[in-house]
Structure 1
């Protein structure tokens, strides 16, 4: 290469570098300007959306929130606000979709999980609704109104599913909120009397208001006003001694008070009214399990024979067999329960104990590993309900 060409290259290369730097700076400047413009646009839309919502201009607010979210899809507050608007307008399908986006942005937000569950409740997607309400409660719900809504709707879903004992727990938790109106008391009464919301008052019974009165008595007990609760239950039994599950409801009160003998006596009274009732038999067996498993065994065995399709009956019978050192029968019953409810951690725990006592070490290890995994996933959630 001659000196002339070398001189030209030395002059050209710096000019090329300077040109590239200038172009890069121009591109960066334009991109920065676009980003700043987008941020300004987003801020304006977000502000206008909040103002429109506060003014009650919901159609305008929905449009503005959607425009803002198109610019910032990770804006959690925007998804939450938009979802609430759609829920308030009873656009439950749209609200469900919005809260789904919200949970993609904030997957561990308990409020959002509850709101999604409430949408699914309105859409009659009961199984999904119950899962999301329970998940929201486990994650923690900061909004007091949402906490109330979660417990109430969870109770209604459990009633719909016929999970009456679980519904009793969920609905009775509302009694300390000061918001136990007539509708809440009615549903608590339905849970304790084991009446599905879709069913009318049992045929051949009398006494309008008895369901609400049972709910009121249960609420008094939940509030630890035990003397008043006892008096109300006593009056109900005197007035309506033949009403289905009235003695059962009183038995549940005594069982919660850990008075086994009083509870068992009331469940026996219920059996006089309903000789073929398996629920009272299971309650007697569960109460006796606390003190004398041998005494509880016949009632659990009868319940399983009367209805072999109730997983909780097999589970309870398995526990009683295990407690009386009948390990082979315990394993059979607990395996039956586990086949019906494979994701219930408590069943795996009991099955692990039964295998261990029967000398089946490898099976015991597998059952305990399954328990540890399920317990971690479910955070003590149990499918065993009756």
Structure 2
């Protein structure tokens, strides 16, 4: 009983500690509003918009925040967004003169002088001391006079002309809708038309960068972001766009440096925190990823993207039930989201893997066939740790050995993993009486465009035979090209026994993804083979095919031909892997 109470108390303390950072970092609506006003007055319009949208996420009916958002959008020359903000403010507070002034400014900038004048005059009458309203009335009247008396007469006699919409704002809204609908080529065309009308509009440049970047035209995307930053140095949206670009390219170190730089100046930016969490996921730093997603939720409790991220963290940690709960909460906020539904449709992870294989060797010079069969079972303890066992039954020249092996694999990070194994053969005739081995793999280059990933690997093994001991070391390199469809590897093999005999060789191999479910491999080896404790020089040509029948089942077939000093050997193999 005491133990259970202590465990419960410890759990409560852990939960309390974990919950503290989010509460401390959360900002009130008033704090966000005050910071946004300062940012707008300093002409930091992007920052102001971000802060005001966060405030409105907490209190959507805040008319003051809507008016400030309208003026911030005016500062960014996004007339459509500004009109929407002012209109919402007036729907909440119909006599809000600042909102009417904002609409008058929009009509004036759009060239709709007849619509702008009564709005501005209304504000000037209601607020006689408002010098901005008086100046706007004067500017509108001057513009109308400049348009010519005949035009004004025609406007009185003829039906009132429909206000001319802002073409750039209209194109941007059209592009946004197309992009949201997933119609990226169409959205790109619309945004390029808008850019032709407003070549220095940073919102258009950032939008184009995101579109072409998601289409994997990374160099072009970077050019758009750089153009935006050249116009507005430090532009937050462009800096965040470059973080996304680094993630798309698989350049995790660059993404980490960029997101840390953004958070240094904008520690509570929701989008930057979300990207920080996603980079941490790529780094397999699940603690940091979870904390960043929780900070997003502390600021915006209905942020579906953060809930999806928490689900991804839980799934990466092997807790599929908790992941699905987070996905369902996100789906309640964004019903019908295909992205969330796809995550929920993913079947629970298969933690078990069964490997079966058998080989039959045909020997020349009238020698009897060899057979070699194995059965292995692996269990994934966690996303990082897998344990496995294997039994091997080999027959040579009428003698049979049974070998039992245990192995553990550990992924210390997405780039580095290692393994260790031990094997024993009771009453061994030709296999090693016992063996120990270890190896490691380091990914030195992530997949990028047509090349990668590239990894450096090493395998080591010590075999104890009845009459001798053999130590082997085998470093090798493996790389992929053509988007991972073609894999190339080269291995050096060094073996030595305890009486000073040494042998060296190499193995070359090619792997080719012929189709989505079919893979071919082939290669050549000129390397020593350990046979009954003896280092035998061997030349081998080999090849094979694997077929992913479905997600849980893979079938394999292979063939090889060896040339040895005393005989040749042809090997035919079949195998399968089942996951459950």
TM-score exceeds 0.5: no
Structure with the larger helix share: 1
Structure with the larger strand share: 2
Shorter-chain TM-score category? 0.3 to 0.5
- Bigger radius of gyration among the two: 2
Give the structure-1-normalised TM-score.
0.41
